[in-house]
Amino acid sequence: MNRSLLILRTAEAAARTAQKAEALGFVPTTGVLWQALPLASTPSQRQACTEHWLAHLARYPDAPVLLTSGNGVSALKALLGASEPLAEALASRWAFLVGTATAEALRGIQFSKTFTAAGDGAGLARLVLSQLPEGKVAIHLCGTLRADEPSLTLTKNGWQVVPVPLYEMRPASRLPQSAQAFLADSQADERYILLLSAQAVRVFAGLLEQESRQKYRLAGIVVLVPSESVARTVRDLLAGFSVRQTEEFH
Protein backbone atom coordinates (compact mmCIF):
# COMPACT_ATOMS: atom_id res chain seq x y z
CA MET A 1 0.00 0.00 0.00
CA ASN A 2 1.33 3.43 -0.99
CA ARG A 3 1.06 5.87 1.93
CA SER A 4 2.06 9.36 0.81
CA LEU A 5 2.89 12.02 3.42
CA LEU A 6 3.25 15.77 2.85
CA ILE A 7 5.54 17.30 5.49
CA LEU A 8 5.18 21.06 5.88
CA ARG A 9 7.81 22.55 8.18
CA THR A 10 11.00 24.55 7.94
CA ALA A 11 13.44 23.10 5.40
CA GLU A 12 15.75 21.49 7.97
CA ALA A 13 12.95 20.11 10.12
CA ALA A 14 11.12 18.73 7.09
CA ALA A 15 14.23 16.89 5.93
CA ARG A 16 14.69 15.29 9.36
CA THR A 17 11.05 14.34 9.57
CA ALA A 18 11.16 12.80 6.08
CA GLN A 19 13.78 10.31 7.26
CA LYS A 20 11.56 9.28 10.16
CA ALA A 21 8.55 9.04 7.83
CA GLU A 22 10.40 6.68 5.49
CA ALA A 23 11.29 4.44 8.43
CA LEU A 24 7.58 4.32 9.29
CA GLY A 25 6.62 3.23 5.79
CA PHE A 26 5.51 6.54 4.28
CA VAL A 27 6.54 8.04 0.95
CA PRO A 28 7.41 11.60 2.06
CA THR A 29 7.10 14.86 0.17
CA THR A 30 8.53 17.96 1.85
CA GLY A 31 7.48 21.57 1.52
CA VAL A 32 8.82 24.70 3.20
CA LEU A 33 5.93 26.24 5.10
CA TRP A 34 8.06 28.88 6.78
CA GLN A 35 11.56 29.96 7.78
CA ALA A 36 12.86 30.24 11.32
CA LEU A 37 15.02 33.36 11.52
CA PRO A 38 17.07 34.15 14.67
CA LEU A 39 16.51 37.59 16.09
CA ALA A 40 20.20 37.86 17.01
CA SER A 41 22.09 37.42 13.74
CA THR A 42 25.02 39.79 14.38
CA PRO A 43 27.58 39.82 17.24
CA SER A 44 26.10 42.99 18.71
CA GLN A 45 22.57 41.57 18.56
CA ARG A 46 23.71 38.33 20.18
CA GLN A 47 25.41 40.29 22.95
CA ALA A 48 22.29 42.36 23.62
CA CYS A 49 20.06 39.28 23.57
CA THR A 50 22.38 37.40 25.92
CA GLU A 51 22.52 40.29 28.40
CA HIS A 52 18.73 40.57 28.30
CA TRP A 53 18.35 36.88 29.04
CA LEU A 54 20.98 36.86 31.79
CA ALA A 55 19.04 39.67 33.46
CA HIS A 56 15.90 37.48 33.45
CA LEU A 57 17.83 34.54 34.88
CA ALA A 58 19.22 36.73 37.67
CA ARG A 59 15.78 38.14 38.45
CA TYR A 60 14.14 34.68 38.58
CA PRO A 61 16.83 32.43 40.08
CA ASP A 62 14.57 29.36 40.48
CA ALA A 63 12.58 29.63 37.26
CA PRO A 64 12.66 26.61 34.92
CA VAL A 65 13.27 27.07 31.20
CA LEU A 66 10.57 26.06 28.72
CA LEU A 67 11.39 25.09 25.12
CA THR A 68 8.55 24.25 22.77
CA SER A 69 10.38 23.76 19.45
CA GLY A 70 13.69 22.88 17.88
CA ASN A 71 13.82 26.40 16.43
CA GLY A 72 14.27 27.76 19.94
CA VAL A 73 17.04 25.24 20.58
CA SER A 74 18.89 26.30 17.41
CA ALA A 75 18.70 29.97 18.41
CA LEU A 76 19.80 29.07 21.92
CA LYS A 77 22.88 27.20 20.69
CA ALA A 78 23.97 30.25 18.72
CA LEU A 79 23.88 32.35 21.89
CA LEU A 80 25.61 29.76 24.05
CA GLY A 81 28.50 29.54 21.60
CA ALA A 82 29.34 33.15 22.35
CA SER A 83 28.60 33.31 26.10
CA GLU A 84 30.18 31.13 28.76
CA PRO A 85 28.27 32.94 31.58
CA LEU A 86 24.98 32.00 29.92
CA ALA A 87 26.00 28.35 29.65
CA GLU A 88 26.98 28.35 33.33
CA ALA A 89 23.67 29.97 34.32
CA LEU A 90 21.65 27.33 32.46
CA ALA A 91 23.60 24.42 33.92
CA SER A 92 21.78 24.88 37.23
CA ARG A 93 18.29 25.14 35.67
CA TRP A 94 15.57 22.64 34.98
CA ALA A 95 14.40 22.50 31.37
CA PHE A 96 10.97 21.38 30.15
CA LEU A 97 10.61 20.45 26.47
CA VAL A 98 7.86 19.49 24.03
CA GLY A 99 8.53 16.41 21.91
CA THR A 100 11.41 14.02 21.42
CA ALA A 101 12.65 16.01 18.40
CA THR A 102 13.23 19.04 20.63
CA ALA A 103 14.94 16.82 23.19
CA GLU A 104 17.25 15.40 20.52
CA ALA A 105 18.09 18.91 19.30
CA LEU A 106 18.98 19.89 22.86
CA ARG A 107 21.84 17.41 23.10
CA GLY A 108 25.04 19.16 24.02
CA ILE A 109 23.32 21.85 26.11
CA GLN A 110 23.75 21.24 29.83
CA PHE A 111 20.81 21.67 32.20
CA SER A 112 20.49 20.40 35.76
CA LYS A 113 17.46 18.28 34.78
CA THR A 114 15.40 17.91 31.61
CA PHE A 115 11.79 16.75 31.27
CA THR A 116 10.06 15.98 27.96
CA ALA A 117 6.31 16.23 27.40
CA ALA A 118 4.53 14.43 24.59
CA GLY A 119 1.94 16.30 22.55
CA ASP A 120 1.82 20.07 22.83
CA GLY A 121 2.25 23.12 25.03
CA ALA A 122 -0.69 22.20 27.24
CA GLY A 123 0.96 18.85 27.98
CA LEU A 124 4.17 20.71 28.77
CA ALA A 125 2.32 22.94 31.25
CA ARG A 126 0.81 19.92 32.99
CA LEU A 127 4.26 18.35 33.25
CA VAL A 128 5.66 21.52 34.83
CA LEU A 129 2.82 21.61 37.35
CA SER A 130 3.36 17.97 38.27
CA GLN A 131 7.10 18.41 38.84
CA LEU A 132 7.08 21.88 40.42
CA PRO A 133 3.80 22.26 42.35
CA GLU A 134 5.27 25.12 44.39
CA GLY A 135 6.79 26.99 41.45
CA LYS A 136 5.53 30.37 40.32
CA VAL A 137 7.68 31.65 37.42
CA ALA A 138 8.87 30.01 34.20
CA ILE A 139 11.03 31.42 31.39
CA HIS A 140 9.77 30.50 27.91
CA LEU A 141 12.35 30.57 25.10
CA CYS A 142 10.11 31.12 22.12
CA GLY A 143 9.42 32.86 18.84
CA THR A 144 7.93 36.30 18.35
CA LEU A 145 4.60 34.57 17.61
CA ARG A 146 3.57 32.21 20.38
CA ALA A 147 0.73 29.78 20.83
CA ASP A 148 -1.56 30.21 23.85
CA GLU A 149 0.03 27.23 25.55
CA PRO A 150 1.88 26.54 27.79
CA SER A 151 1.29 30.05 29.16
CA LEU A 152 -2.50 29.74 29.35
CA THR A 153 -2.56 26.66 31.59
CA LEU A 154 0.30 27.86 33.78
CA THR A 155 -1.16 31.32 34.38
CA LYS A 156 -4.52 29.76 35.27
CA ASN A 157 -2.63 27.91 37.99
CA GLY A 158 -1.02 31.03 39.43
CA TRP A 159 2.23 31.06 37.46
CA GLN A 160 3.94 33.89 35.64
CA VAL A 161 5.43 32.95 32.25
CA VAL A 162 8.22 35.26 31.09
CA PRO A 163 8.67 35.08 27.29
CA VAL A 164 12.17 35.47 25.84
CA PRO A 165 11.79 35.63 22.03
CA LEU A 166 14.82 34.21 20.23
CA TYR A 167 13.52 33.80 16.67
CA GLU A 168 10.70 34.68 14.30
CA MET A 169 8.77 32.38 12.01
CA ARG A 170 8.34 33.89 8.54
CA PRO A 171 5.61 32.06 6.61
CA ALA A 172 5.80 31.21 2.93
CA SER A 173 4.06 33.68 0.63
CA ARG A 174 2.41 30.92 -1.41
CA LEU A 175 1.77 27.20 -1.26
CA PRO A 176 5.01 25.35 -2.13
CA GLN A 177 5.11 23.73 -5.57
CA SER A 178 5.68 20.34 -3.94
CA ALA A 179 2.52 20.80 -1.88
CA GLN A 180 0.52 21.84 -4.95
CA ALA A 181 1.63 18.70 -6.79
CA PHE A 182 0.81 16.53 -3.77
CA LEU A 183 -2.70 17.98 -3.45
CA ALA A 184 -3.40 17.57 -7.16
CA ASP A 185 -2.28 13.93 -7.29
CA SER A 186 -4.59 11.21 -5.97
CA GLN A 187 -2.58 8.19 -7.15
CA ALA A 188 -1.48 7.18 -3.65
CA ASP A 189 -3.63 4.68 -1.79
CA GLU A 190 -3.55 6.90 1.29
CA ARG A 191 -2.56 10.58 1.58
CA TYR A 192 -1.59 12.41 4.74
CA ILE A 193 -0.44 15.94 5.61
CA LEU A 194 1.69 16.51 8.73
CA LEU A 195 1.02 19.76 10.62
CA LEU A 196 2.63 19.93 14.06
CA SER A 197 1.18 23.13 15.52
CA ALA A 198 -1.92 25.28 15.40
CA GLN A 199 0.18 28.02 13.79
CA ALA A 200 1.22 25.63 11.03
CA VAL A 201 -2.45 24.80 10.42
CA ARG A 202 -3.31 28.49 10.17
CA VAL A 203 -0.48 29.18 7.71
CA PHE A 204 -1.40 26.20 5.54
CA ALA A 205 -5.10 27.11 5.60
CA GLY A 206 -4.28 30.68 4.57
CA LEU A 207 -2.06 29.59 1.69
CA LEU A 208 -4.64 27.07 0.52
CA GLU A 209 -7.28 29.80 0.59
CA GLN A 210 -5.20 31.77 -1.92
CA GLU A 211 -5.45 28.88 -4.38
CA SER A 212 -8.38 27.53 -6.36
CA ARG A 213 -9.34 24.45 -4.33
CA GLN A 214 -11.13 23.03 -7.37
CA LYS A 215 -7.82 22.16 -9.03
CA TYR A 216 -6.84 19.90 -6.13
CA ARG A 217 -8.02 16.41 -5.22
CA LEU A 218 -8.59 16.85 -1.49
CA ALA A 219 -11.01 14.00 -0.84
CA GLY A 220 -9.66 11.40 1.58
CA ILE A 221 -6.62 13.39 2.79
CA VAL A 222 -5.93 12.95 6.51
CA VAL A 223 -4.15 15.67 8.49
CA LEU A 224 -1.82 14.23 11.14
CA VAL A 225 -1.44 16.36 14.29
CA PRO A 226 0.25 15.87 17.69
CA SER A 227 -2.61 16.90 19.97
CA GLU A 228 -6.31 17.56 20.36
CA SER A 229 -5.78 21.33 20.45
CA VAL A 230 -4.16 21.25 17.00
CA ALA A 231 -6.90 18.88 15.80
CA ARG A 232 -9.51 21.47 16.82
CA THR A 233 -7.76 24.09 14.69
CA VAL A 234 -7.85 21.72 11.72
CA ARG A 235 -11.59 21.18 12.18
CA ASP A 236 -12.14 24.94 12.42
CA LEU A 237 -10.04 25.98 9.42
CA LEU A 238 -9.75 22.99 7.06
CA ALA A 239 -13.29 21.87 6.37
CA GLY A 240 -13.37 18.66 4.35
CA PHE A 241 -10.12 17.26 5.73
CA SER A 242 -10.05 14.36 8.15
CA VAL A 243 -7.78 14.66 11.18
CA ARG A 244 -5.90 12.11 13.27
CA GLN A 245 -3.67 12.49 16.32
CA THR A 246 -0.24 10.87 16.38
CA GLU A 247 2.92 11.31 18.45
CA GLU A 248 5.19 9.50 15.99
CA PHE A 249 6.61 12.68 14.46
CA HIS A 250 6.81 15.08 17.41
Q: Global pTM?
A: 0.80
d(CA 216, CA 207): 13
Map out the domains of the chain as residue ranges: 3-33+173-245, 38-170
Domain 3-33+173-245 has CATH 3.40.50.10090: yes
C-alpha count within 13 angstroms, C-beta hemisphere, residue 200: 26
Tens digit of pLDDT per residue, the chain (250 long)? 789 999 999 998 899 899 999 999 999 999 999 998 988 888 888 888 889 889 999 999 999 999 998 888 988 988 887 788 999 999 999 999 998 878 888 888 999 999 999 878 889 999 999 999 888 999 999 999 888 899 999 999 999 999 999 999 999 999 999 999 999 987 888 999 999 988 999 999 999 999 877 788 888 999 999 888 899 999 999 988 999 999 888 6
The secondary structure element, H or E, covering residue 184 is: helix 177-184
The closest alpha carbon to 197, from 73, 97, 68, belongs to 68
CATH no. for 38-170: 3.40.50.10090
Give the pLDDT of residue 249: 80
